[in-house]
Amino acid sequence: MSELKSQSITKEMWQQIEKEMSDGWVNIVFAYKGHELTVNRVRVSESKTCLQVYIDGFIKGEWVSFSGDKGFSDKAPAILPDVWGKKTRAKYNRRFKETMTRIWGKRGVKREYPDLDDSLVFHIPNFSKASVLCRQYKKLEGIELVSAHFVKAEGL
């Protein structure tokens, strides 16, 4: 990443960032641990959008892994779990669990399916709302704002 002029983020700036992300199409750039994070609003479907986070301009499928407990691969940048959203899903759905419990009984199902109550953990670059993204990013130590529309407008 090239050296970018950035500034630490105050409480008032977080409010402005959240408002800007909520409004419309956005392009906000953060700097975090030597990486450039770009947040854009992208189209999910015809009538639905979300905020998507790019790390150094990329989102790569090879970064995501469903094997293991981490939810990301060894090829992923070290900051990925900090800046992408963490999602969990049950390994087996409720209906399957109930059916197997009826068939095997409470003790038998634990013998046959020891991982029945396990969940899958993975990280995705999408955030449904600006408040969710801001809540997660406020906790990051050392994150700095590089560019945003309101910064250009106010001349900060």
Q: Are residues 47 and 68 in the same domain?
A: yes
Is 57 in the same domain as 38? yes
Q: Are residues 154 and 77 in the same domain?
A: yes
What is the amino acid identity at position 156?
L
Residue at 11: amino acid letter: K
What's the rounded Cα separation, in Å, for the pair 52 and 146? Answer: 17
Q: Are residues 61 and 113 in the same domain?
A: no
43 and 95 together in one domain: no
Query: Which residue is listed with tokens 């999408």?
Result: 126
pLDDT in tens, the chain (156 residues): 444 566 788 889 999 999 989 888 889 999 999 999 999 999 999 999 999 999 999 998 888 876 766 777 788 888 999 999 988 899 999 999 999 999 999 999 999 999 999 988 888 899 999 999 999 999 999 999 998 876 655 554
The answer to whether 64 and 123 are in contact (CB under 8 A) is yes
154 in the same domain as 108: no
pTM: 0.80
Residues 12 and 57 in one domain: yes
Q: Which residues have C-beta within 8 Å of that of residue 111, sequence separation ≥ 6?
A: 104
* Segments forming the whole domain that contains residue 90: 86-124
Number of domains in the chain: 2
- 1 and 59: one domain? yes
Place of tokens 């945003």: 148
